[in-house]
Each structure stands twice: as C-alpha cells, then as structure tokens.
C-alpha cells in the first residue's frame, strides 16, 4: 500500500516540483514505517507519480508534475581503493558518460536537493555490494557489525530550508510540521541499507557490535552552504584541535536552532537549489574494538625492565616483560598496537616469583578475535617457550570492565617481598630478632630520588604489616616483608638519605643496603586461576 494519503498530496507535489526525491518526501510526510523506503527507487518514483497524477485528474492540485529529464552527474573525485568506481553501467544506477562524468538513471528528477543523492543511488544494491567487497577484503573476523555513516553537515542546512518551505505551505492550511515530525535521514538510510548489508555479508547488524564499518560521504559542490551560519552565529563555530573544519554537524545544528527563520530565509534559498552531482564517498573504513587479554607473569631475570627502557631516545636494554608477551599477542591477534598495564611494577633488577604479577593487554584494532581455550593455552606455551626470562600463567580473554578488578583498591592490597640486606656493622642473630615482633608499622616516604623525574614530589604514608628475618652471616640477613601496595622497599631498607622514616637502618642503628629483592606475591585475586 502506498504510504501517502490525500492530506500529504499537496506537500508531496510541492517537494517533488522543487527537486526532492521520493524517499525524502516520505520523510517530510512523517512516514515512519520501513517498508516503503525499501522499495526499488524506480518503483518508488513510478508509484509517487501515479499517486500525484491521480491527484491531477481529480483537479485537486494546481502544482504540475515536473517533466521527466535526464541529468548528468560528476564522477566522484575521491575514489576508494578497491572500488574501481561507485558508478556502474545499467539501468537504475550511475553510469559513466563518454566525457568521464556520470549521469543518474535512477530517476527522472535532478539529484535530490535535500539528501544530495544519499537516498537515491547510495541505497541501491550495487553500492551496498561495493562496500561489502571492501569489508570482506579487509581481513577482519566478525560475526556481526555496526554500520556507521557520516553525512556532510550541509544536509542539515538543506533539510532546514525544505522544512521551512513545507511549514509555510502547511500553515496556509492551518496545519503544522515540527522539526521532530521529519524522519531523520540517517534513520531512513539505515532502514533501507541494514537488511541489504546483512543479506550480503551473512551476519546481523548489531548496534553493540565491536566491528564497525564506517562510510563517510562528502559533497564538495555544496560545501559552502553552511558558511553563512558562521557570520550570523559565530559563537557556534569554535575551532577544535581534533577537527579539520569548524563546520561540524553539531555546530551546524546548534546554529540552526539559534538562527531566526526570517534571517535564515534571507541567506539561504527555500527550497534549496538542486545540485549537479550526488555525494562522493570519501572513505570506507573497517575497525574492530579492542580486545583484552589478561594473565599473570613471573620474571626471573635481574636484567629485564617491565616496559622498554629508553632514556633520551636511546634504548638501554634489548627487551622487556611487556614486549616478550605482547609481541606474540600482536602477531596472533593481527592487531595494530597494544597497551600494557599491570598491578604495580618491579624494578629492572627485581624478580617476580610466586604466582606472578597480574597484567592485562589491550589489543587495538585486532583482525582476529575468536579463539578457543585450547588455542589460548597454546599461545601461552609459545610465549613461555620463547624466553627463559619470563613465564606466563592463567592467560585468558577478558572484558574491558573486568580489568577494573586489577586496579580497584590497589592501594589497599598487600604484597610480599624477600630482600637480601647488607649492614656495615657486624650483626648477630639477636640483633635482628626484634624486627619479627613489629606489626603494622607506619612509615612516611617522600618520593624517592630515583623516581623523582617521573613522579610528583609528595610524602606518602605506607604500612609495613609484618617482617620476618633469617640470619645469613655477620653482615647479611634475609628479610621477608608483607607491606601495603605502593611501598618503596629499597628505600625502606636504606632510608634514601632520610627521605623514608623510619627505615631498617634507623631501626637497627646501622647503615643498611639492599643487595637483592624479589616479589614473592601480589595479593590480587585476578584474573581467575585456570587449570593447567
């Protein structure tokens, strides 16, 4: 059933006569069910003309139906790699003429003066196939997708002009048309194209999908349509660092909501002029949202930093924990880049033993995302076989939200250490036994000198929950500590020139230094332990 009624005929005839396409006419007539928009363009046009001719036969409308005429369209200036042409020979599509321009055979009308061809040629199956070919060639693994389209901001100006025209005409009949009564262009476009994309790619369209296909349209011919708004509403168009143009859709909409109707009509034609060419496609891009891998790592080397150690552009050591793990993940997930995070960090000369330190890696724009638990287990084994400096356990895929468990309450978590300590004075077993009795010792730590270049100057109070000593010889003993996370252990031993108070040296009345330090446990019960 044709969606327009007798009440819509005058508006439909007015818009058609001024160069508006059938689907935009539906939008301005408030047609909010999908089926009519999905009809092939030629069929839509034929039905609309039949509907209006019936009106003429009844002598209800005095607005003549415009005579059919073939128009020529320019070939898009910026073609997309892999898309030889968005123009295809054949009836109902764009066709290239002898001089290299292209003409629309999709209608007997001009290119729509409102949507600039978006709801004409860019809704047809041939265009959808071209986009899908690029998606399939992108190499991404996906089981659903979200479609993102970006339209030129001047479409909002043209829609505003057409709305004012229709509003004025409807006012003569004591009828009204609010801006919100018009079906949004993006909504209509998705109604038409979503089923076509889904059918062509064989996967559902899902607004929550991590795989995004984005299509960006432009229309160079009418790019100056927005410029008058800046002169009238300059405060709406403020330069932004990450925007190439001040004429964003949001800025244009803000100005249109602010400008008076009479001022708009003085500056911009109502109805808007018909363009010569349809929109061009600036880019078709595919991207996958980040995926996250977590686990725990052990570090057995005293010559390995957690992250790349680079000073003044010069690399100090050839590898790092981060790279030994992430290099394998980047390759297998076919990701562009990664971000590494962990529950704290150890110095280059500190080992991490026990159950290891929790870590998480964000893999940016991965092309492969589906793995079985066995494949992840094999990946873990591959990492472990590649180096004797680290080992990884409990490797698993996690959600972005789950990573919060690693960071939440980090200051309240506890960590256990083992330190080999040297003293300048000879000691006996009885000289260190009193340390075993100290519980929940509060210490004040001014930012250590060794990290002052990357940490703000502050005094932090930390808790040494417990200590246990083991005598080695008259100048050495081993100290086992359970501390609040974030405690600087080395400074607690040697005092850092009095910046940490109290410290082992001051408690024992000796000069003390730390020779070896191991992290024995990081008491964060995440990620979940897996069976070997």
pLDDT 10s digits, 206-247 = 999 999 999 999 999 999 999 999 999 999 998 877 677 889
Domain membership of residue 216 as a residue range: 6-54+110-225+268-287
Q: What's 385's domain CATH number? A: 3.30.70.2510
Rounded to whole angstroms, the Cα distance separating 531 from 395 reads 11
| Residue 115 CB contacts under 8 Å (≥ 6 apart), including other chains | 21, 23, 24, 155, 185
pLDDT at 95 over 60: no
pLDDT at 176 over 90: no
- Within a domain: 185: yes
Of 356, 378, 411, which one is at a domain's C-terminal end? 411
Q: Clarify whether residues 403 and 421 are in a common domain.
A: no
Rounded to whole angstroms, the Cα distance separating 476 from 513 reads 10
Q: Clarify whether residues 321 and 454 are in a common domain.
A: no
The pLDDT, as a whole number, for residue 35 is 94
- Inter-residue contact 260 to 164 (CB < 8 Å): no
Radius of gyration of the chain (CA): 34
Rounded to whole angstroms, the Cα distance separating 161 from 270 reads 5
Q: Clarify whether residues 451 and 502 are in a common domain.
A: yes
Q: Clarify whether residues 359 and 494 are in a common domain.
A: no
pLDDT at 81 over 80: no
pLDDT at 157 over 50: yes
- Inter-residue contact 186 to 153 (CB < 8 Å): no
Of 287, 319, 339, which one is at a domain's C-terminal end? 287
> How far is C-alpha 198 from the geometric centre of its chain's CA atoms?
22
Q: Clarify whether residues 298 and 436 are in a common domain.
A: no
Q: What's 513's domain CATH number? A: 3.30.70.3190
| Structure confidence by residue, pLDDT tens digits, 286-322 | 999 999 999 999 999 999 999 998 888 888 888 999 9
**CB atoms inside a 10 Å sphere around CB 491:** 22
The pLDDT, as a whole number, for residue 94 is 31
SS3 sequence of 412-438: HCEEEEEEEEEECCCCCHHHCHHHHHC
Question: 347 an active-site residue?
Answer: yes
- Within a domain: 149: yes
Of 287, 322, 357, which one is at a domain's C-terminal end? 287
- Within a domain: 90: no
Q: Clarify whether residues 510 and 480 are in a common domain.
A: yes
pLDDT at 21 over 70: yes
Q: Of 80-89, 112-121, 198-207, where does mean pLDDT reach its minimum?
A: 80-89
Q: Clarify whether residues 388 and 421 are in a common domain.
A: no
Q: How many domains does the chain have?
A: 3
pLDDT at 412 over 90: no
Q: Percentage of the chain surpassing pLDDT 90?
A: 77
- Inter-residue contact 77 to 54 (CB < 8 Å): no
Helices vs strands, H then E, count in the chain: 15, 18
Sheet of 94-96: strands edge to edge?
A: 71-73, 102-104, 94-96
Coil, helix or strand at residue 116: coil
Joined tokens for residue 367? 């092309």
- Within a domain: 238: no
| Structure confidence by residue, pLDDT tens digits, 36-56 | 999 998 899 999 999 998 755
Supply angle C-alpha 343, 344, 348, rounded to 5.
130
The pLDDT, as a whole number, for residue 2 is 85
Q: Of 104-108, 153-157, 323-327, where does mean pLDDT reach its minimum?
A: 104-108
Q: Of 5-14, 27-36, 60-69, 181-190, where does mean pLDDT reach its minimum?
A: 60-69
**CB atoms inside a 10 Å sphere around CB 456:** 6
pLDDT at 389 over 70: yes
Rounded to whole angstroms, the Cα distance separating 124 from 179 reads 27
- Say which of 32, 263, 327, 347 is annotated catalytic: 347
- Within a domain: 336: yes
- Within a domain: 234: no
Nearest CA to 28 out of 141, 136, 254, 185 is that of 185
Q: Of 54-63, 157-166, 329-338, where does mean pLDDT reach its minimum?
A: 54-63
Q: Clarify whether residues 123 and 167 are in a common domain.
A: yes
Distances (CA, A) of 66 to 7, 49, 69, 255, 469: 20, 10, 9, 34, 97
- Within a domain: 261: no
| Residue 224 CB contacts under 8 Å (≥ 6 apart), including other chains | none
Nearest CA to 84 out of 140, 36, 130, 119 is that of 130
End-to-end Cα spacing for the chain:
64
The pLDDT, as a whole number, for residue 137 is 97
Q: Clarify whether residues 407 and 298 are in a common domain.
A: yes
Nearest CA to 159 out of 191, 192, 131, 181 is that of 181
Supply angle C-alpha 489, 490, 495, rounded to 5.
105
- Within a domain: 242: no
Q: Clarify whether residues 479 and 496 are in a common domain.
A: yes
Q: Clarify whether residues 421 and 384 are in a common domain.
A: no
pLDDT at 500 over 70: yes
Regarding pTM above 0.85, the answer is: no
pLDDT at 371 over 70: yes
Q: Of 106-120, 242-256, 296-310, where does mean pLDDT reach its minimum?
A: 106-120
φ, ψ of residue 133 in degrees (nearest 5):
-60, -40
Q: Clarify whether residues 391 and 420 are in a common domain.
A: no
**CB atoms inside a 10 Å sphere around CB 337:** 11
Q: Of 12-16, 176-180, 266-270, 408-412, where does mean pLDDT reach its minimum?
A: 408-412
> At 532, is the pLDDT very low, low, confident or very high (cuts 50, 70, 90)?
low
Nearest CA to 141 out of 363, 378, 396 is that of 363
Give the mean pLDDT of 456-484: 97
pLDDT at 80 over 50: no
């Amino acid at each position: 059933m044709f969606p327009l009624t007798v009440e819509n005929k005058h508006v439909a005839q007015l818009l058609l006569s001024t160069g508006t396409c059938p689907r935009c006419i539906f939008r301005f007539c408030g047609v909010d069910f999908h089926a009519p928009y999905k009809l092939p363009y030629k069929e839509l046009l034929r039905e609309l003309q039949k509907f209006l001719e019936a009106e003429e036969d009844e002598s209800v409308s005095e607005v003549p139906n415009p005579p059919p005429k073939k128009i020529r369209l320019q070939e898009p200036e910026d073609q997309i790699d892999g898309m030889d042409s968005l123009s295809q020979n054949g009836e109902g599509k764009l066709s290239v003429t002898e001089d290299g321009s292209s003409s629309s055979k999709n209608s007997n009308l001009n290119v729509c003066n409102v949507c600039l061809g978006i709801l004409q040629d860019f809704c047809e199956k041939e265009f959808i196939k071209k986009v899908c070919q690029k998606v399939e060639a992108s190499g991404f693994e996906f089981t659903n997708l979200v479609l993102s389209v970006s339209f030129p901001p001047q479409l909002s100006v043209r829609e505003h002009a057409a709305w004012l025209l229709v509003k004025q005409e409807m006012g003569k009949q004591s009828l009204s048309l609010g801006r919100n009564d018009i079906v949004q262009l993006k909504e209509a476009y998705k109604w038409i194209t979503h089923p076509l994309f889904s059918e062509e790619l064989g996967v559902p369209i899902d607004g929550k999908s991590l795989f995004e296909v984005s299509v960006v349209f432009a229309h160079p011919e009418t790019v100056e349509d927005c410029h008058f708004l800046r002169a009238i509403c300059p405060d709406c168009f403020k330069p932004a660092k990450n925007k190439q143009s001040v004429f964003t859709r949001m800025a244009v909409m803000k100005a249109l909501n602010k400008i008076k109707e009479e001022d708009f009509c003085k500056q911009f034609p109502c109805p808007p002029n018909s363009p010569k060419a349809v929109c061009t496609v600036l880019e078709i891009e595919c991207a996958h949202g980040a995926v996250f891998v977590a686990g725990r790592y052990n570090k057995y080397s005293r010559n390995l930093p957690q992250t790349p150690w680079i000073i003044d552009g010069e690399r100090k050591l050839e590898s790092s924990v981060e790279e030994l793990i992430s290099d394998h993940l980047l390759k297998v997930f076919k990701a562009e880049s990664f971000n590494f995070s962990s529950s704290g960090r150890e110095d280059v000369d500190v080992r991490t033993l026990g159950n290891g330190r929790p870590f998480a890696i964000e893999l940016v724009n991965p092309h492969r995302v589906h793995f079985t638990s066995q494949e992840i287990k094999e990946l873990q084994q591959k990492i472990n076989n590649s180096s004797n400096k680290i080992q990884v356990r409990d490797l698993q895929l996690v959600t972005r939200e789950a990573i919060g468990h690693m960071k939440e309450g980090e200051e309240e978590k506890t960590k256990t250490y083992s330190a080999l300590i040297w003293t300048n004075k000879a000691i006996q077993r009885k000289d260190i036994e009193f340390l075993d009795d100290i519980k929940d010792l509060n210490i004040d730590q001014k930012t250590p000198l060794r990290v002052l270049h990357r940490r703000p100057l502050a005094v932090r109070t930390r808790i040494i929950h417990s200590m246990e000593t083991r005598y080695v010889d008259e100048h050495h003993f081993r100290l086992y500590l359970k501390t609040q996370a974030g405690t600087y252990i080395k400074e607690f031993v040697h005092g850092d020139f009095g910046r940490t108070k109290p410290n082992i040296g001051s408690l024992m009345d000796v000069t003390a230094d730390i020779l070896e330090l191991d992290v024995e446990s990081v008491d964060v019960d995440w990620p979940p332990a897996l069976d070997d």
